[in-house]
Structure 1
């Protein structure tokens, strides 16, 4: 009887722990994906900006 009670408590605890772990994992995955998107967009705009500036400078240089 006593052993079964302990087993039940352990089972519930591990389930809660697993649920919390899953939640943390999901949250970190979501934030990682969001961060990746934002980071990627930032790099994209940076590259586009640099390319635009470079082409403008090249045009000025070649028009002389």
Structure 2
């Protein structure tokens, strides 16, 4: 069970890193008009990663309350 949580947190961390890198690329190379679309994509990636982290925290909190 711990490995599953670790893997999910690692995946969420990777998603946040990917979102950051996508944002850096977009801001450095896209025309202003296209940046808005890229920002929406990055925002989605970041929100999904945060939701994954919250899901794991909730599961760990429930397990902690059981102990």
TM-score (norm 2): 0.51
TM-score (norm 1): 0.53
Q: 1:53: which partner in 2?
A: 56
Gapped runs of 5+ residues in structure 1? 1-26
Gapped runs of 5+ residues in structure 2? 1-29
Task: Find runs of 4+ consecutive structure 1 residues off by over 3 angstroms.
Answer: none
Q: Distance in 2 between matches of 1:43 and 1:63?
A: 31
What does 1:1-64 correspond to in 2, within 5 Å? 28-64=31-67
Per-residue deviation, residues 1-33 of structure 1 (Å, max 9, x unmatched): xxxxxxxxxxxxxxxxxxxxxxxxxx7123201
Larger gyration radius, structure 1 or structure 2: 1
Number of aligned residue pairs: 38
